Structure 1
Amino acid sequence: MTNAVDDFSAHLRRLGATGEVVEFETEVPTAAAAAELLGCEVGAIGNSLVFDVGEEPLLIITSGAHRVDTRHVSRTLGLGRIRRATPEFVLAATGQPVGGVGPVGHPEPIRTLVDRHLENYPTVWAGAGTKHRMFPTSFGELLRITGGTAIDVSAG
């Protein structure tokens, strides 16, 4: 019988990702908690945030040092209103709970944007499907494995 860690790890391998999933004894539901546990800058944490754009999911992987400016993203991409998704919407779209959403491993592909600020870090830590797991990656690898688009997520 396989478990969620094995499934997520297998998915990463299929995508050619290089990092191994790390499981923690405590939850790491926030960038600050993850950075403290990992001993890295909060900016090196890639938060996977799901938004609702006309009932379609939009995944924005943002640096833990940034807040997503939804108006800026909407104007930049010519989208309609971008709203923070409900926990139920996130779970339905990703199969993963809020606070543990990974950039991949979702039931269906999700349009993904990756914060350009993450390029400043040689190692980016991203969620691995639960609040107890993360994996190391890079900005370039995040773009590749998600099919994402690099973007400045804040106007400032």
Structure 2
Amino acid sequence: MSEASVRAFFATHAPDVSLIDQGVSTATVADAAAALGVEPARIAKTLSLRIGDTVILVCARGDARLSNGKAKAALGAKPRMLGGHEVEELTGHPVGGVCPFGLPTPLPVYCDVSLRDFATVFPAAGSRTTSVELTPDRLAALTGATWADICTLPDAIAE
């Protein structure tokens, strides 16, 4: 159902966007980057978080790490990752295919500003083998996302 809900989402909201099915796992950032032939940073991973009583989705570049301090400052509380069963229950997508499209019920979506480092990015598309290619601004527009600075990049992590 998950991939089907994403296909239905794009058929309604962006019929010009086609799902890319690699036929191999794109469930991790490394797998997706290898399958798509792009650098890992261009994979737009979707994190499922709980902020207080609210579940949110965060789209971030593949090499970024969630910063608890930045997230708390931007979102008002320390984020907690959801467990795999809860992720699938709330998003309708399996872990490894989670994306902000075709959700059974709307969830707040945030896009980390680091996505804007690229002309296009590749979020998952509801299954462990599918993705789409979008500009970061279109990703945000299609999902009603709020832009926020809530992740740290690898160079900043090493410092």
Q: What's the TM-score once normalised by structure 2's chain length?
A: 0.88
Check the 8 A contact 2:49/2:80 in 1, yes or no.
yes
Once the 2 structures are TM-superposed, how far is the Cα of residue 35 of structure 1 from its aligned partner? 0.9
Q: Within 2, Cα distance between the matches of 1:56 and 1:76? A: 14
Once the 2 structures are TM-superposed, how far is the Cα of residue 4 of structure 1 from its aligned partner? 5.0
Give the AA of the match of 1:16. Answer: A
Q: Within 2, Cα distance between the matches of 1:4 and 1:60? A: 18
In structure 2, the partner of 1:43 is 41
CA RMSD of aligned residues (A): 1.7
Check the 8 A contact 1:102/1:126 in 2, yes or no.
yes
SS in 1 for 2:55: strand
Question: CA 1:121/1:135 → structure 2, altered by over 3 Å: closer, same or farther?
Answer: same
Post-superposition Cα deviations, 1:82-124, rounded to whole Å, max 9, x if no partner, equal 1010011111210111111012111111111101111121121
In structure 2, the partner of 1:151 is 148
Residue 107 (1) aligns with residue 104 (2): yes
Check the 8 A contact 1:113/1:148 in 2, yes or no.
yes
Q: Within 1, Cα distance between the matches of 2:132 and 2:108? A: 21
Gaps of 5+ in 1: none
Q: Within 2, Cα distance between the matches of 1:125 and 1:90? A: 20
Which is further off, 133-142 or 114-123? 114-123
For 1:66-77, list aligned pairs within 5 A.
66-77=64-75
Once the 2 structures are TM-superposed, how far is the Cα of residue 31 of structure 1 from its aligned partner? 1.1
Residue 133 (1) aligns with residue 130 (2): yes
Once the 2 structures are TM-superposed, how far is the Cα of residue 6 of structure 1 from its aligned partner? 4.5
Question: How many corresponding residue pairs?
Answer: 153
For 1:1-150, list aligned pairs within 5 A.
5-16=3-14, 18-77=16-75, 79-150=76-147
Post-superposition Cα deviations, 1:50-93, rounded to whole Å, max 9, x if no partner, equal 0122342110001002011133111123x223101001111121
Q: Within 1, Cα distance between the matches of 2:51 and 2:68? A: 10
Q: Within 2, Cα distance between the matches of 1:113 and 1:18? A: 23
Q: Within 2, Cα distance between the matches of 1:70 and 1:105? A: 28
Gaps of 5+ in 2: none
Post-superposition Cα deviations, 1:107-155, rounded to whole Å, max 9, x if no partner, equal 1111111011111211210100011111111111111111001112225
Q: Within 1, Cα distance between the matches of 2:26 and 2:67? A: 23
Q: Within 2, Cα distance between the matches of 1:16 and 1:134? A: 14
SS in 1 for 2:65: coil
Flag as ranges the 4+ runs of structure 1 deviating above 3 A: 3-7
* Residue identity (%): 25
